[in-house]
Each structure stands twice: as C-alpha cells, then as structure tokens.
Amino acid sequence: MLDKELMAILACPECKGEIHYNESRDGLVCDACQLEYPIRDDIPVMLIDEAKSLKD
C-alpha cells in the first residue's frame, strides 16, 4: 500500500485528475480518463503508455 502523503500528491498524468486504488489495490484508477496505472514492487507506474484502458 502506498503512503498517504504520496497518494495525496499523485495525479493522473493524462488529465491531472484524482486517482484512487482499484478493487485489488494493485493499480491506480482515473475515473475521468478511464485508465488504470499499474503498481509494481510498491511503485506506481504513472506512464500513459503503461496504463490499461477501462473502457468497454
């Protein structure tokens, strides 16, 4: 789990909006962009190219 201070400053790199954990807590989700950024070895990978689209 990421530090609360880190979560407070992280933002979606695409729209600069708020992010939150996904259900399994292994990724960070931006609801506005419908993107999920992975967390690898307790480090959030905040790269648009690494994000997974949540759009159907």
Distance CA 42, CA 14 (A): 21
**Per-residue CA distances from 55 to 8, 29, 34, 36, 49 (Å):** 25, 12, 6, 10, 15
For 43, phi and psi rounded to 5 degrees? -120, 120
* Per-residue pLDDT, 3: 87
The domain ranges of the chain are 4-53
pLDDT higher than 90, residue 1: no
Q: Report pTM.
A: 0.90
Mean pLDDT, range 14-28, rounded to an integer: 96
Is the CATH number 3.90.580.10 carried by domain 4-53?
no
